[in-house]
Every structure is written in structure tokens, then in C-alpha cells.
Amino acid sequence: MATRRIAEILRNGQPDEPVTVQGWVRTKRELKEFAFVELNDGSSMANLQVLLNPDLPDSEGVLKLLNTGTSVEVAGVLVESPAKGQRIELKASEVKVYGEADPETYPLQKKRHSFEFLRTIGHLRSRTNTFGAVFRVRNACAWAIHKFFQERGFMWIHTPVITASDCEGAGEMFAVTSLDLKDVPRTDKQAVDYSKDFFGKPAFLTVSGQLEAEVMAMAFGNVYTFGPTFRAENSNTSRHLAEFWMVEPEMAFCDLQGDMDLAEAFLKYIFKHVLETCPEDMEFFNQRIDKSVLATADNIINSQFERVTYTEAIRLLEKADKTFEYPVSWGLDLQSEHERYLAEDLFKKPTIVTDYPVGIKAFYMRLNEDEKTVAAMDILAPKIGEIVGGSQREERLDVLERRIKAQGLDIENYWWYMDLRRYGTVPHAGFGLGFERLVQFMTGMANIRDVIPFPRAPLTVDF
């Protein structure tokens, strides 16, 4: 008999129906006449209760092996459950043990473990209720992202992980090399001789797929990337990772207004999909992690996002009845505390800030007519701050050349990017969404390292 997933059985299973399930034992409860085992296969928050009678073949020997963490296959018949809170349970007729788990050494016992401890056992933490829920929601988010863009005719493109260009101009990039670090070749001036390296020039792990996405948008109109990106930023905060996933749509024949409209529709769609597909998991987060999770989701789905210029936002922050740790003044970047004040305290809903000063934004953002600001936009969300960053891109060749030089970047590295402006340039726009920030925001998890299966951060590269 084919095995069935526990989530589907709990939803659709009927009494007297024969089923076979596979999973891991969560708990065991032995009574005088029979025993109960709670079984979970990762498909749902809820466990399937398995009833073990003494007439089960080798029931005593099997029962000794069914400790927390043991992997099993159970065949039997579904029966109505007399217990409160569950509709059906499985009366076992056959139990096969695949892998035992020693109760003396298995680190996940029936008690609460701290998230700090669970990070040290990243190979096992997905078996807990919290991380099971996190990664089911993460999966639903990813599926919703693809659905959103595919339904709108976007093409999913795969941009390179290894690149020679620094999209953000921040210089926080991981170098990629095949050189022997114990004997690095040098030029006459004692600089590293990259001509001897694999690519013949400096190469890095990408910080963004945006520039390559622009290439594809110039041929296909609307495209999106969804893949890993890397930042060599020595930051040990609850909001930063060295390796994370980015969603980056790019639209030809699109301006800043269209960019904002798409980003707002995108966030609403993702939240709605997750609430519909993972209701039990979201309810768990609302009860156990952050009691505002469901209200926040409702606020995203049903609010019209506030839109305000950076200049107006600075004015509002300067007259706020609140003391900020970081100064507020025109020309300085907004800090997380400023972003959260705008979205949480002032407008009480997601807020889009537009038209930032040219000095604090990347070279590719379109220069406005005032030549002081660029056509950029950030979406600020309650509780987390910036969740989406985007802009209309600079499509004018002469202005782009000026901006690249002004930021001290080597224009030779962007020859192909300049060609997009030489041959059939069009107004175009796009945005980037840090996928883990989205999952963190959606679940209420306090630390971003707890919404990615295998976090990479300074001095953290286990598993």
C-alpha cells in the first residue's frame, strides 16, 4: 500500500480506511493495556496518534524501540478517536523500525529548547514544531513568489553566482579564487597577479543578480531572479546573513510608479497565499512567537500602503515626539529605528519612501530632474523596517557614465551594462526583496538565522 502524508490523512482520512505512514516518533505514552505514539512526518504541525495494541506482532520488543526520534513505518486502519482535539487516529497492525534513536543521547527531548541551542544542532532542529512551521511557511512563500510572477507573464532567469562586478558598490564581496594562498603570484609591483587566476581577473560571489536581470529584461520585457546572494559584511545582528536569497524582478518599459504598484501587489499576494496554505503554522506563530503575526498579515493584505518622499519623511522624523539614537537630517540614510517609527508609530502600516538623496543610493538608480535625488523606493514594514528596495534604473548613457565615475567604480567593468544604454535603451525598473527578511517578518521570528535552514554568518559555517 502506498504511503500517505500525515497532513492529508488528518484532513481527509476516514474511519475504517487502511493507511500506511512513515515518519519520526515525537512522543510515546505507555498504559497498562496499550500504548500511544505521536508520529510526525514534517507535512503538518499536528501529529498522527498511533494506537499500539498488545496483539501487535512483537509488541513488547517494538515498543522498546519507539523512542523520540526513531523513524518508523506504520500500517493499520484509521479509527475514530475518543480523545479530545483529534478526529481520527491510526490503529497499528504492523510497525517497521527504520532507525533507532538512543533516548540517552538524542538531543531533542520532550521539553522546550532555546533557539540558541537549536542552532548548534542545525541538522536536527527542523524536527521541532517551531522549525517545522518556519520551513513550511518558507516553502509556501517561495511557491507564492513563483506563482505571482508566472501568472503575470514574467520569465524566471538564472543569474550567475560568480561575477566580476559589484552591483551595490559597497565592496563587501567574497573573493573567488583558485590561487594557492600559500604562494600567491605577484606582479612586479607586488600586487596579486590575477592573470594567473582561474578567470584571469578578480572574481567574487554575487551580491545581486540585478545587473544581469536588466540584460534579460532588455530582451524579454519582464523577468525575475530568485537565488542566493552573498555579503562579506562582518555583522552579527539578528537581521544579517552572509548568504541569503534574493527575489529581484526587472521590468522593461516601467517607471517608479509601476515599480511601487508591483511591489505592493507582490507583498499582498505572498501574505494571502501563506495564510491560505499554512493556517495552522501561522496560528502557531501567533500564539507562541509573536501575538501580532496575524494582525500584521491582515494589515499587509488589506491596507493601501502609505507613500511618502524621503524629504517629507525626514521632515516628519525631525518633528517626531521621540528621541532617536541616530541623528535625522536630510542627506543621511534612514536607520532601522527611523523606518520602524514611520511604519509602526506614524502611519501604522507598510510605508513606501521614495526619491532618496543621490549620495546614499547606488549608481544605477535614475537621477531625478532636481539632480539631488534619485527615483528610488523602499518599502518599510512594521516590526522590521526595510523589506523591499527598488528603483527606476538610469537608462541615459551619459548620466550613467557620470554616476559610475562619481562612485569611484571602474567603468571598464561595466562596458556590457553601458551597451544596454547604447542599443535600444528603454525606461525600466525593478526591486529586490531579501527572502529571509520576508519569512522573518511573516513568522515573527526574532533572529534571521532561524528562518534559513543553514545560516551563514561571521564564524558560522557549520552543517
Interval 236-240 mean pLDDT: 79
**Can you tell me the mean pLDDT for 219-234?**
95
Per-position b or e across 292-316, b if 16+ CB within 10 A of its CB: ebbebbebbeeeebbbbebbebbeb
Average pLDDT rounded to a whole number, residues 100-113: 91
State the pairing for strand pair 373-381/351-357.
Answer: antiparallel
Task: Give the three-class secondary structure for 225.
Answer: strand
The answer to whether residue 109 scores a pLDDT higher than 90 is no
Per DSSP (E only), the strands in 14-70 are 18-30, 35-40, 48-52
pLDDT value, residue 221: 97
For residue 58, the model assigns a pLDDT of 77
pLDDT surpassing 90 at residue 18: yes
Residue 342 per-residue DSSP state? I
Mean pLDDT of 40-67: 90
* Mean pLDDT score of the chain: 94
Q: Which pLDDT band holds residue 383 (cuts at 50, 70, 90)?
A: confident
Averaged pLDDT, 83-104: 93
Per-residue pLDDT band at 111 (split at 50, 70, 90): confident
Alpha-carbon span 49 to 23, nearest angstrom: 12
Per cent of the chain over pLDDT 90 is 86
> What percent of the chain stands above pLDDT 70?
98
Q: Region 147-158: what's the mean pLDDT?
A: 98
Cα 350 to Cα 387: distance, rounded to the nearest angstrom: 10
What string of DSSP letters covers 281-316?
Answer: HHHHHHHHT-TTHHHHHHHHHHSPPEEEEHHHHHHH
Write phi, then psi, for 103 (nearest 5 degrees): -65, -20
155-156/222-230 β-pairing: parallel
Nearest-10 Cα torsion for 42, 48, 49, 53: -100
Question: Of 34-38, 96-100, 213-217, 232-236, which gets the smallest average pLDDT?
Answer: 232-236
- Least trusted range by pLDDT, from 84-93, 138-147, 364-373: 84-93
Q: Are the beta carbons of 134 and 454 closer than 8 angstroms?
A: no
Residue 210 has pLDDT above 70, yes or no: yes
Average pLDDT rounded to a whole number, residues 242-263:
98
Asked if the model's pLDDT at residue 166 lies above 70, the reply is no
Give the pLDDT score at 169: 55
Q: What is the mean pLDDT of residues 110-135?
A: 94
Mean per-residue pLDDT for 343-352?
A: 95
**Set of cell numbers at residue 403:** 554616476
- Separation of alpha carbons 106 and 68, rounded Å: 8
Please say if the pLDDT value at position 59 is more than 90. Answer: no
Q: Classify strands 385-392 and 222-230 as parallel, antiparallel or unpaired.
A: unpaired
Which H/E stretch holds residue 353? strand 351-357
| Structure-block grid coordinates of residue 145 | 513568489
Q: Considering only residues 281 and 34, tell me which one the structure prediction assigns the higher pLDDT.
A: 281
Rounded to whole angstroms, the Cα distance separating 34 from 49 reads 13
d(CA 61, CA 58): 5
Judged by DSSP in three states, 420 sits in helix
Residue 170, pLDDT > 60, answer: no
Distance CA 105, CA 433 (A): 41
Question: For the residues 277-303, what does the mean pLDDT come to?
Answer: 96
pLDDT score at 168:
61
Q: Give the pLDDT confidence of 388-443 residue by residue, as tens digits.
A: 999 999 999 999 999 999 988 888 889 999 999 999 999 999 999 999 999 999 99
pLDDT band at 236 (very low <50, low <70, confident <90, very high): confident
Tell me which DSSP letter residue 345 carries. I
Q: Walk across the sheet containing 155-156 and list its strands.
A: 155-156, 222-230, 243-252, 428-434, 385-392, 373-381, 351-357, 306-309
As a whole number of Å, the end-to-end CA separation of the chain is 35
Q: Tell me the C-alpha distance between 453 and 136, whole Å.
A: 11
- Mean pLDDT value of segment 329-345: 95
Give the containing element (helix H, strand E) for 363: none
